[in-house]
């Protein structure tokens, strides 16, 4: 039976960016399905009592070097973002709008790249809209949709559902009933897809 | 030039136990030196503002399953400890005494095994002393020494020095100036020993 990876994500998480660079090849190799679920990481932190590793200065410093080591290992571009932590509310509502408009992969690539390679402040709605237009995405339509009550509700529900399933950070993958946390646990994700 | 791994540890950390099960083969393969430095993890948490993953219930639940997966990967025994978190003050002072008595490896094996395989409450000094005697370790001499001002001061200094070097959790390895955190970063430890 074909397995499905439910990938809970927030664009503001650098570890999620790294996992995103790897996920397609993992999905293809396992002949699995991918279900990307936008959630608000800040909401998850609040609900679970968790916090960003960067909230502990020594851990934040280590994490930065650790992310760079993983980027080298994966052979992908990665830069710290000068505006971290970015408020991702509009970005994550936008992700749901992009899913409904069937431009999700294009939108995700633009956002992940903008934050974690190009060092942009995509928490600023004006910078964000300008950036999307330059990437051939109709930001007026997208953010018109993103501000709908329907989409606001979906994001809240996704986040609540994530917490109910045991999610406390990002990226988190769920395969069958197994919760796999972290871009550094892709080996366990691959194993889960094999069993 | 022969490299040295400075391994900051606390027996109360399950991730440190897992790293300890792997460290000797890594050291041997790299022809490196190992410098085990006892520290008080509770003191490190207090100084850095960090906390045990178990302080976030959802993260604690995930971590438990993650530790078990790693134990399977490493093919070593591992059991959660019913008395976690254990107060390790006497255990860590005892580690320094054991280093001075030249029975450190025997003592460490007994303690790690007692907590993380046999599920003992080694935070209880009576249980601890009885357990050490059964393992052919002279607990009277050891804890006599462990209560000396000299050893109390060494433990405090080790902990302060760890924090000054950027340590925020356990296990932490330092090779040259590189800080490597976590039993899940042994690949980076191996790389650091190769360069």
Q: Among residues 34-53 of chain A, which lie with CB inside 8 Å of chain B?
A: 48-50
Of B50, B59, B185, the CB nearest to A56: B50
Residue A34: pLDDT band (50, 70, 90) is very high
The two tokens of residue B168 are: 């925020």
For residue range A181-191, what is the model confidence (pLDDT) as tens digits? Answer: 999 999 999 99
Chain length of chain A:
195
pLDDT, residue A1, reads 83
Strand partners, A4: A33
At B46, give phi and psi (nearest 5°). Answer: -65, -45
Question: What is the pTM assigned to this prediction?
Answer: 0.95
Interface test with A, best of B48, B57, B58 (most A CBs within 10 A): B58
Q: Are the C-beta atoms of A12 and A115 separated by less than 8 Å?
A: yes
Q: What count of CB pairs under 8 Å joins A to B? A: 56
Q: Which residue on chain B is closest to A53 by alpha carbon? A: B50
Q: What is the mean pLDDT of each run of 10 residues along chain B (195 residues)?
A: 96 98 98 98 97 95 97 98 96 98 98 98 96 97 97 98 98 97 98 92
Residues on chain B touching A50 (C-beta within 8 angstroms): 56, 58-59
The continuous run of DSSP H or E covering B73 comes out as helix B57-74
What is the domain range of residue A37? 4-194
| Averaged pLDDT score across all residues of chain A | 97
Instruction: Tell me the average pLDDT across A67-82.
Output: 98
CB A79 within 8 A of CB A119: yes
pLDDT tens digit string along A159-182? 999 999 999 999 999 999 999 999
Spell out the residues 6+ positions from residue B23 whose beta carbon is closer than 8 angstroms to its own: B5, B7, B34
Is-contact A173 A7, C-beta < 8 A?
A: yes
Chain B touched by A3 (CB under 8 Å): no
Per-residue pLDDT band for A150 (boundaries 50, 70, 90) equals very high
Number of domains in chain B: 1
Give the residue-averaged pLDDT of A8-19.
Answer: 98
Which pLDDT does position B195 carry in this prediction? 74
Q: Which residues of A touch B49 (CB under 8 A)?
A: 55-57
Q: Which residues pair with A34 in a beta bridge?
A: A5
Distance of CA B187 to the CA centre of its chain: 19
Which residues are paired to A33 by β-bridges?
Answer: A4
- Torsions phi, psi for A185 (to 5 deg): -120, 30
The CATH number covering residue B149 comes to 3.40.30.10
Q: Is the dihedral of CA A43, A44, A45, A46 positive or negative?
A: positive
Pairing of strands A4-9, A33-38: parallel
């Amino acid at each position: 039976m074909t397995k499905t990876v439910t990938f809970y994500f927030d664009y503001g998480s650098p570890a999620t960016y790294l996992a995103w660079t790897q996920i397609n090849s993992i999905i293809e190799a396992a002949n699995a399905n991918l279900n990307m679920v936008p959630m608000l990481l800040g909401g998850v932190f609040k609900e679970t009592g968790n916090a960003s590793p960067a909230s502990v200065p020594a851990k934040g410093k280590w994490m930065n070097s650790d992310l760079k080591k993983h980027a080298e290992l994966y052979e992908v571009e990665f830069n710290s973002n000068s505006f971290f932590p970015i408020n991702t509310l509009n970005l994550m509502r936008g992700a749901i709008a992009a899913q409904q408009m069937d431009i999700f992969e294009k939108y995700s690539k633009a956002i992940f790249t903008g934050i974690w390679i190009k060092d942009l402040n995509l928490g600023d709605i004006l910078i964000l809209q300008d950036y999307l237009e330059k990437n051939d995405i109709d930001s007026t339509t997208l953010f018109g949709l993103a501000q709908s009550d329907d989409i606001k509700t979906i994001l809240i529900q996704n986040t609540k559902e994530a917490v109910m399933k045991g999610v406390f950070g990002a990226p988190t993958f769920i395969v069958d009933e197994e919760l796999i946390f972290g871009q550094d646990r892709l080996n366990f994700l691959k194993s889960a897809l094999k069993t």
